[in-house]
Amino acid sequence: MSRAFPSLLLFAAFAATFGPAARAVDSSGAGHEGHPTHPAIPGDAPVADRSLYQLPGAWTDQDGRAFALASLRGSPVLLVLFYGTCDSICPIIVRDLKKVEAMLPEADRRRTRFVLVTIDPLVDTPERLLAYARKNDLDLSRWSLLNGSPDDVRVLANVLGFKYRPTGTGQYSHTIRITLLDRSGNVADHMDGLERPLAPIAARVSALLADEPPPK
C-alpha cells in the first residue's frame, strides 16, 4: 500500500470531525490575474474549531532540525504555503507577510510566529529554505520555514483549504492564502488574494493576544 493512501485516510477522518469553516478576513479575489501563464487556484474554506496541532506528520525546519507543529502552541501563527523557486506570486505573499509583521506593535511582534511551509519539499531542502530566509531577511527568532513529506504537505494543505498542482515546468499553480492560527492552533482567519488590505489581519493578531488566555 502506498504512503499516500493512509495519509489521505487520516485527513478524511480528521476533516470529518471539524465544524464550520473559519471566517475569512477577505475571501474575494483568490485568483491572480497578474500571473496569466499559471493563474492561482481558488481555495476552499479551511476547517475550524479543531487544532492543527492534532495533525500527524514529521517536519524539518530550515536548520535541519525536527520541528513539531505543536511547538507553536501559545502564540498566534501566520502560516503560508509557498515554494522557494516561485518567481511571481510567492514573493509577493512573503512580502505581504513581512508587512503584517511590521504593522504589529513590538510586544505583539515578539509573541507572534510566522511559518512558511513548502509545497515543493523535494526541491526546497532545509539548506535551500535557510538560504531563502537569509535572502528575504526573515528573522528566524520568529520565522520558521518547514519541509515535510509530500503526503504530509498534502494533508496540511487539504485541512487549510489550500489547492496546488504542478504545471510541468518546475512551477505550481496554487491558492493565494495567508492563514491565521490562534494560540491553540485553530484556524482563526484567512486572507485570500494579493495586495489586499493587511491591517485587518494584523489587528486580529493583536486581538488574539489581548483576548485569548494562554493554552493550558
pLDDT at 193: 86
Type of residue at 171: Q
pLDDT at 118: 98
pLDDT at 42: 76
pLDDT at 34: 38
pLDDT at 25: 41
CA 172 and chain centroid, separation: 16
pLDDT at 212: 60
> What is the distance between the alpha carbons of residues 149 and 59, in angstroms, rounded to a whole number?
8
pTM of the model: 0.82
pLDDT tens-digit profile, the chain (216 residues): 334 434 444 444 444 433 333 333 433 333 333 343 456 777 666 676 678 999 989 999 999 999 999 999 999 999 999 999 998 899 999 999 999 999 999 999 999 999 999 999 999 999 999 999 999 999 999 999 999 999 999 999 999 999 999 988 889 999 999 999 999 999 999 998 887 889 999 999 999 999 866 555
> What is the distance between the alpha carbons of residues 116 and 11, in angstroms, rounded to a whole number?
21
Residue-range domains of the chain with CATH: 4-211 (3.40.30.10)
The contacts of residue 132 (CB under 8 Å, 6+ apart) are: 62, 84, 124, 138, 145
> What is the distance between the alpha carbons of residues 155 and 59, in angstroms, rounded to a whole number?
13
pLDDT at 150: 96
> What is the distance between the alpha carbons of residues 41 and 181, in angstroms, rounded to a whole number?
22
Residues 148/57, Cβ–Cβ less than 8 Å: yes
pLDDT at 170: 86
